[in-house]
Amino acid sequence: MADETLFQLLHTEVVAAAYGGGRGSGDEGQRNGLTVLEGMGFRVGQGLAERLPRGALVFKEELDTIKFLCRDLWGAVFRKQTDNLRTNHQGTYILQDNNFPFLTQMAWGQQYLEEAPKFLAFTCGLLRGTLSALGIESSVTASVASLPAWTK
């Protein structure tokens, strides 16, 4: 049974619930939905980090912590690693995933880009929560250049 899709299916339901039942309409509703999803991600990220063996929590450099997110957190959640990690060495890190699983099932097209933030909010919170439990206060935002697509 495809257990790697279980988390993804539940995430889809969570997004739908955050925007369902009359909530999530209008700008304010949209912001509320994002806040709810980000908060859920934050607490899940905290929970995951708190369950790590103690040794795993000791990183010498901030960069090592970020690499841990790219490799281990991404591995646990998405069964793969991020495609790229860039930094300005002044505390800003860019994690790039060219085939982000929560977006790959969306229809392709510029008009759907507006829908993308609701599928990114949980993961932003997840990163922020994990970092918080590892002792790093952060601000995490997401941007989408284009939706994943296949060309022949």
| Interacting residues toward its own copies by CB under 8 A | 1-3, 5-7, 9-14, 17-18, 36, 40, 43-44, 47-48, 51-52, 56, 72-73, 75-77
* Closer by beta carbon to its own copies, 75 or else 148: 75
Closest separation in Å from C-beta 66 to its own copies? 15
- CA 109, 112, 116, 117 torsion-angle sign: positive
Per-residue 3-state assignment (H helix, E strand, C coil) for the chain: CCCHHHHHHHHHHHHHHHHCCCCCCHHHHHHHHHHHHHHHHHHHHHHHHHCCCHHHHCCCCHHHHHHHHHHHHHHHHHCCCCCEEEECCCCCEEEECCCCHHHHCCCCCHHHHHHHHHHCHHHHHHHHHHHHHCCCCCCCCCCCCCCCCCCC
* Closer by beta carbon to its own copies, 11 or else 116: 11
Closest separation in Å from C-beta 48 to its own copies? 6
* Closer by beta carbon to its own copies, 9 or else 146: 9
* Closer by beta carbon to its own copies, 17 or else 147: 17
Closest separation in Å from C-beta 5 to its own copies? 6
Closest separation in Å from C-beta 90 to its own copies? 28
